[in-house]
Homo-oligomer: A and B are copies of this chain.
Amino acid sequence: MKRNSQLSGVLHILLHMAEHDGPVTSELLARAMTTNPVVVRRIMAGLREQGYVRSEKGHGGGWSLACDLQKVTLRDIHEALGGPPLLAIGNRTEAPGCLVEQAVNAALDTAFRDAEALLLERLGEVTLAALSADFHKRFAARGGARELEKAHAG
């Protein structure tokens, strides 16, 4: 089962935008993530609707942040992405007629809900500002001389 990495990808994009003055093009963001500009636009669509980012067309256009990083949590971003399922495992059937399956589902569901709730809680505790600060700490520790965009090389 392949893991969904949209959240990870979007956060990556947002932090890059935070380090950048003025709009950033989908093209540039896509290169930073080794993917396609269209993919970037696609996953950013939800964020735009929620007002977390803005996009501008034409010359000098691109994406820019439109929110206070202190106020937005990873959970907010997750929800802006449509709140995809967090757990990789689930029940074979919802509302099964089989009593055996009902018992199985009941047992698993509690465990699933608890884990999901914990995860959401944790995501709600981390702001984009905290993430950005962590990045800056790493950047300073590693030798901030290099240009930001180059940091992708490794």
Q: Which residues of A contact B (CB under 8 A)?
A: 1-9, 11-12, 15-16, 19, 32-33, 74, 84-92, 96-108, 110-112, 114-116, 118-119, 122-123, 126, 130-132, 134-135, 138-139, 142, 151-154
Instruction: Please tell me if the beta carbons of B74 and A107 are within 8 angstroms of each other in the complex.
Output: yes
Which B residue's beta carbon lies closest to that of A35? B92
Task: State the copy count for this chain.
Answer: 2
Instruction: Please tell me if the beta carbons of B12 and A87 are within 8 angstroms of each other in the complex.
Output: no
Instruction: Please tell me if the beta carbons of A90 and B135 are within 8 angstroms of each other in the complex.
Output: no
Instruction: Please tell me if the beta carbons of A12 and B100 are within 8 angstroms of each other in the complex.
Output: yes
Instruction: Please tell me if the beta carbons of B135 and A99 are within 8 angstroms of each other in the complex.
Output: yes
Which B residue's beta carbon lies closest to that of A112? B119
Instruction: Please tell me if the beta carbons of A115 and B122 are within 8 angstroms of each other in the complex.
Output: yes
Checking B9, B74, B89, B123 against A7 with a beta-carbon cut-off of 8 angstroms, the contacting residue is B89
Instruction: Please tell me if the beta carbons of A131 and B107 are within 8 angstroms of each other in the complex.
Output: yes
